[in-house]
A = this chain, B = another copy of it.
């Protein structure tokens, strides 16, 4: 087998594979914000496993803890049986995240994918309210299984369903809610009373669209007034990504359910968890929403380590600082470009909206060649999304931004 030999993938892996087409090489190892391929080429990672690897590849503290756990014959797989490891994780989360916020959310471990967490949240909202319709938003992304896919907006994903995606009513993200409110207070509007309002405070896949505090507050007030559960999907933007633990921290929000996945497991191993208000949670009967991989020891161990980053403000302050650095550089790139490029984001989730999918694709390709992994999102993939590990060294961050700047310039010059 030669280095970077992709023949096995081309011959044997499903045509559905995607990222390996954008990054056509074979990766062999990774550390913090760097991935190295079989030929030894090192790439700076501004993609971080689509927002999973907030604490970098092979985070040393976590790796150490996992190896120790393995050597101690810790329980790697426990469904929803009780284990010491799970208790440690829960206690850390309660102490570090819930108590400082005066929260008492019940923690529900679902199947270890974001889509599964969303499905569980929707089931519960429908159960609690006795209603079926969920309000979701344009450009929203909530997963690929039929329940969450119905809430996902992108037609490319929706068209793969093969069945109608029902029971969801959609409204424009971030736009005035006046008309929506009017509609739902009118019994002749033809809109069914909603079971839930499901929204991402920041739409990551949708194009790094940032909702304002005011809009989210108004939305929450609307949900409460209509007897609907207010569900925040913080799967990609949560776990420290935006400079606070939750992307909506400090907005005075009081969601009924918060869905978490991606970064919660710390190391890149799967975990998903919903935070559910006790008054809703009590509507569950035991085992109604099951799943084989709900209890993942390695993810609990690493996720517990991740909690340590949030014990004081230093880490998040550093995230904010790096986020500002990113924003500044992106604004410079955007203004240099002068063709309507737009920068959006919060903390270390930043998007460069090129307004043109082909342009973004070309830039991403040039970045890859120059040693930077970066991904597209938004309509036609026109937004370049920057979500490096929060732990990225400044030097790597700078170097990555340099590559992005040059790739953008070179494209402009080639045009």
A interface list, Cβ under 8 A from B: 1, 5-6, 8-9, 12-21, 23-31, 35, 38, 49-53, 57-58, 63, 66-67, 70-84, 86-87, 90-91, 94, 106-109, 111-116, 119-120, 122-123, 125-127, 132, 136-140, 143-148, 150-164, 166-168, 170, 172, 175, 179, 182-183, 186-192, 195, 206-207, 261-262, 267-270, 274, 276, 281-293, 296-298, 378-380
Question: Closest Cβ of chain B: how far from A271's Cβ, in Å?
Answer: 9
Given contacts A27-B84, A84-B27, contact A113 B114 (CB under 8 A): no
Find out whether the CB atom of B8 lies under 8 angstroms from the CB atom of A91: yes
Find out whether the CB atom of A115 lies under 8 angstroms from the CB atom of B16: no
| For the complex of A and B, 6 pairs with smallest distance between CB atoms | A126-B162, A77-B268, A153-B190, A18-B287, A145-B145, A14-B108
Find out whether the CB atom of B287 lies under 8 angstroms from the CB atom of A16: yes
Contact of A74 among B17, B29, B77 (CB under 8 A): B29
Given contacts A1-B87, A49-B79, A53-B77, contact A127 B160 (CB under 8 A): yes
Find out whether the CB atom of B155 lies under 8 angstroms from the CB atom of A187: yes
A186 / chain B contacts, CB cutoff of 8 Å:
138-139, 379
A324 to B405, CA, bound (A): 67
Query: Which residue of chain B is the closest to A132 with respect to CB atoms?
Result: B163
Find out whether the CB atom of B29 lies under 8 angstroms from the CB atom of A106: no
Question: Closest Cβ of chain B: how far from A121's Cβ, in Å?
Answer: 11
A-B contact pairs, 5 of them (CB 8 A): A16-B284, A27-B75, A35-B75, A77-B269, A170-B190
Given contacts A155-B187, A268-B77, A269-B296, contact A9 B163 (CB under 8 A): no
Find out whether the CB atom of A188 lies under 8 angstroms from the CB atom of B139: yes
Find out whether the CB atom of B90 lies under 8 angstroms from the CB atom of A119: no
Per assembly, the copies of the chain total 4
Question: Closest Cβ of chain B: how far from A343's Cβ, in Å?
Answer: 19
Find out whether the CB atom of B287 lies under 8 angstroms from the CB atom of A270: no
Query: Which residue of chain B is the closest to A293 with respect to CB atoms?
Result: B270
A86 to B75, CA, bound (A): 24
Choose among A76, A182, A283, A380 the residue with the greatest number of B CB atoms under 10 Å from its CB.
Answer: A76
A13 / chain B contacts, CB cutoff of 8 Å:
80, 90, 106-109
Find out whether the CB atom of B289 lies under 8 angstroms from the CB atom of A270: no
Given contacts A140-B190, A145-B145, contact A80 B17 (CB under 8 A): yes
Find out whether the CB atom of A30 lies under 8 angstroms from the CB atom of B162: no
Query: Can you name 10 extra interface pairs (CB under 8 A) apart from A6-B82, A77-B269, A154-B188?
Result: A19-B80, A26-B82, A50-B292, A66-B70, A111-B144, A126-B163, A145-B146, A147-B147, A158-B192, A172-B183
Contact of A123 among B162, B267, B276 (CB under 8 A): B162
Find out whether the CB atom of A262 lies under 8 angstroms from the CB atom of B144: no
Find out whether the CB atom of A27 lies under 8 angstroms from the CB atom of B166: no
Find out whether the CB atom of B195 lies under 8 angstroms from the CB atom of A162: yes
Given contacts A113-B291, A163-B166, contact A14 B83 (CB under 8 A): no
